[in-house]
Chains A and B, each alone.
Chain A
Amino acid sequence: MIPSPRHGPSRAWLPAILLTLLVVGAATASAAKVSNENREQLPPGCDAIAGEASAIVDAGRAYAEPFPGAVFSFSNRSFEWPACTRVTITLQNHDHIRHQFMVHDAFPEGFFQLEADSLDNVTGTFITGAFAKTMLAHCGIPQHQQMGMKAQVLVAGGIGTLPNILGISGLPAVDRGEVASPPTTNGPPQEQAAAPGLSVLTLLGGVAVLALLRHRMHG
């Protein structure tokens, strides 16, 4: 029992509180989390599990060190598995913060995710689909993907390469600022500067007339 804003509980509940604390605390001791694990359910188009595969993914700041400007990364950033394959991944976290390895578009829930806490390991399984596709894998903590924790999963050869994966792909032209980006919906529009042409020309004209007059005076 926790005291309410108006009525506090009797202290007789204290031993029960402490006991509950120990029991619940023990039950939630592991910080490793697997979301949407799938070991058996076949994706559409798969008649059976075609094979087994596994991978160890190391995560942390150290894996970004070969890439100046990046901060966090995975030991491997491109994975390729056949269709209808049961894939078991172990995420090994070498940092003192949590990291994730989240595979987008995974059957059946739309994503498969491992989350490992500080210096922790976590293992989970999903089944690749029946058709070729390229799936995004990343750490979902804000800016970890952008700062290097981005990978791709090529199923049955994939359908291409995702951009901005360290050592594999670069930034699209629009993100390099080489082509115009579409208008953003966030933030106020840039202030529009007034066209200076006529004013500047008039001023230049005035200066030119003065120079001409001076030239004629001295000439």
Chain B
Amino acid sequence: MRRPVVAAVVALFLIPAALAHGLGGDVDGGGPYVPPAETVEIDTRGGENPCDNAKAEWRPSQRVEGVDVAASLECTPDDPRAVAAFVKGTNRMPQQLLDDIGLHEDAVVKDDDLDGDGDPDIIRITLEVIELNGWHLVDDALQEPYEIAPGIAPTFWVFAPKTTIHHSGPFFELARMPTPPIRVEVGDQVFLTVENTHYLPHTIHLHGTDHPFQDAEGNGNDGVPVVSEMPILPGDARTYELKPRVAGSFFYHCHVQVQVHVGMGLGALFIIEENRPDNWLQTLNPGAGPVRHPSVASRERYDREYDMLYQDIDKELTAIPKTSNDARVISERIHRDYDATDAASDYFLLNGRSFPYTLRESTVVVSPNETVLLRVQNVGGSEVALHTHGHKGEVINIDGVPVQFPQIQDIYPLTAARRLDVVLNTTDDGFHSYGQGLWLTHDHHEVAVTTDGINPGGDITLIAYEDYLDPISALPKPLGGTFNLYFNPAYYRGEIPVFQMSGLDFLGQAGDPNAANASNTANASPASARTALPDESQRVTSAVPAPALMLVLSVIAGAALAAQRRQPR
């Protein structure tokens, strides 16, 4: 009888206390009013010019050394001289032009019209293996880091067209992420040479591309270490041979230690075009994106063509080569210490860049009533759920194979290594297109629209109708503000409140609570504001209640235990 009575008494005390908490807390529990910290306006100066227009003359359609190069309305379009060299063949270009752009005369050599249809059929491509943003002395910092976004320069390994003379300036137009898409024609006799300029072994595997297991001399030709060959050692070279019989969008990548080598950047599209008369192809497309000299078949069917390579990056992986100048140490750390099964993606790239840099060179520029071919590839290890705002595209080929019943969809799923040929129809019919505008295009795994967790970033780009481009910079003209804030390293260091640009002061940067009554603290620099961030000090204090509670509970439990033990039995 006594126990229910005790319980009722306890409940009488507890229930009002619980209600008091639910209705706003304990009376007098809040103490005196303390004015909150002032909102600090972060100084966003120090950002970059979104487009310096230094390459504006490269945008219009033009003829270079007899090669017509289509217009490219990007802030930083491909160099028309390089496009012409990749079409005509570096063996047919003036040496001075090649030297000016840093392209080696062996990069793409085109010979012999074997089938008499007006275009060369012996294609010799030479690639080097280049490390971007590698180890260097602290006092000898990189003068021109290859940045994927403002202030972010991971280390990459790429297959790059054979360059010459320069190791800065023009060099970075050619040796950059991603590894360049390759185009050859059905029936071409292709000699793909890798000159291993890197300090680790590599190979090339022609994934999905018609190629023999052994070359004409009986050497392994599949690029798989041990199975078909020894890897190509530093300082050595090897030539892979193929004479493809089937057209399609395929893949080439290093097959040495693939769990890290592909993730470091060594892979890209390998496209076999249909054999047509007078079919002079843009054999390499460094930086991917717009194809400024499409094939004959492409020109017959489409108004424009874009290469779009998606890749996710683990920053823990790409940080390793910077840690040593000892090749043994790097090899140990990247091949043994690094556990790819624990990998997590931090950066999401489209054509080797993340937003906002994608706006400079990988905008999908269109006009109404066009058909546009997108050759999309997932080079990374995570699935991509590519989504086109305002458009439903038609997937006509999967992994280079025509689809029997083409699907029209607005999500284009790409598993690892997958290639999709997607046709956009920009006819404003409420189905294929909803009309002109700036239509976001991105991986719908939402993490992929961030750069190391900061949004907007990742692989965001736009399907941009020409009327929505700035006539001076060729950058898209947004309606809801400006992209300028994002061209700032401080933004991607997380130092700028994401809504500050929108004038939403109430969501601005909270200042130091201890300086709440101090005079004007506005216009703090991002760095100084970060040192005063209240949430960091709170992070420490917020960790206190749980252990403190544990302490109290421990004392109570201990005391109860002791009291119980002392009772006479």
Contacts and interface: CB of A to CB of B under 8 A. Distances in A.
A146 B325 contact: yes
B536 A192 contact: yes
B275 to A, nearest CB: 14
B528 interface: no
A115 B106 CA distance: 14
Contacts of A205: 551
Contacts of A6: 68, 299
A186 B561 contact: no
A209 B554 contact: yes
Contact of B133 (A2, A21, A147, A186): A186
Interface stretch (B12-20, B149-157, B251-259, B306-314): B149-157
A115 B164 contact: yes
Contacts of A61: 233-235
Tell me what chain A mostly uses at the interface: helix, strand, loop, or mixed. loop
A48 to B, nearest CB: 31
A111 B338 CA distance: 40
B294 A172 contact: no
A107 B162 CA distance: 28
A219 B260 CA distance: 61
A158 B98 CA distance: 36
A172 B536 contact: no
A174 B548 contact: no
Contacts, number: 219
B539 interface: yes
Give the interface size bracket for A toward B: 35 or more
Contacts of A21: 89, 91-92, 110-111
B293 interface: yes
Nearest to A20: B92
Given A2-B66, A206-B554, A11 B278 contact: yes
Interface string A132-168: 0000000011111011000000000000000110000
A96 B555 CA distance: 75
Interface in A166-219: 171-172, 174-175, 181-182, 184-189, 192, 194-196, 198-200, 202-203, 205-207, 209-210, 213-214, 216-217
A182 B140 CA distance: 12
Given A24-B91, A96-B235, A217 B134 contact: no
Nearest to B136: A146
A187 to B, nearest CB: 6
Interface stretch (A63-71, A76-84, A121-129): A63-71
B492 A210 contact: no
Interface string B263-284: 0000000000000011110000
A77 B118 CA distance: 51
A143 B492 CA distance: 28
A70 B554 CA distance: 58
A83 to B, nearest CB: 26
Nearest to B299: A5
Contact of B198 (A100, A143, A194): A143
A97 interface: yes
Interface string B522-550: 00000000000000100111011011101
Interface string A4-43: 1111110100100010110011011001010100000000
Nearest to B70: A5
B483 interface: no
Interface residues of B, number: 100
Interface stretch (B211-219, B326-334, B354-362, B431-439): B326-334
B91 A25 contact: yes
A6 B492 CA distance: 43
A85 interface: no
B167 A141 contact: yes
A97 B562 contact: no
Contacts of B128: 97, 141
Given A21-B111, A60-B235, A198-B544, A8 B296 contact: yes
A192 to B, nearest CB: 7
Nearest to B293: A5
B195 A97 contact: yes
Contacts of B237: 96-97, 118
Interface in B46-85: 63, 65-68, 70, 84
A3 B555 contact: no
Given A21-B91, A69-B326, A202 B63 contact: no
B296 A214 contact: no
Given A28-B95, A182-B138, A144 B165 contact: no
Contacts of B395: none
B87 interface: yes
A188 B540 contact: no
Contacts of A141: 128, 130, 167, 197
B547 A199 contact: yes
A126 to B, nearest CB: 16
A100 B87 CA distance: 28
B236 interface: yes
Contact of B327 (A147, A189, A206, A216): A147
Contacts of A206: 547, 550-551, 554-555
B151 A187 contact: yes
B100 interface: no
A5 B297 CA distance: 10
B550 A203 contact: yes
Given A186-B151, A206-B550, A33 B92 contact: no
A72 B235 contact: yes
Contact of B555 (A20, A189, A209): A209
Contact of B539 (A187, A189, A194): A194
B406 interface: no
A175 B138 contact: yes
Contact of B131 (A7, A8, A143, A172): A143
A199 B131 CA distance: 44
**Residue among A18, A25, A147 with the highest chain B CB neighbour number at 10 A:** A147
B559 interface: yes
A202 B544 contact: yes
Contacts of B207: none
Contact of A146 (B99, B134, B147, B565): B134
B562 A217 contact: yes
Nearest to B65: A2
B96 to A, nearest CB: 10
Given A98-B195, A192-B536, 13 more contacts: A2-B280, A8-B118, A33-B164, A61-B234, A70-B326, A71-B235, A95-B236, A97-B197, A146-B325, A195-B540, A198-B543, A199-B544, A203-B551
26 contacts: A14-B118, A25-B92, A33-B164, A69-B327, A71-B235, A98-B195, A100-B167, A113-B165, A141-B128, A142-B130, A142-B132, A142-B167, A146-B134, A146-B135, A147-B325, A147-B327, A172-B139, A175-B138, A187-B319, A202-B551, A203-B547, A203-B551, A206-B550, A206-B555, A207-B554, A217-B562
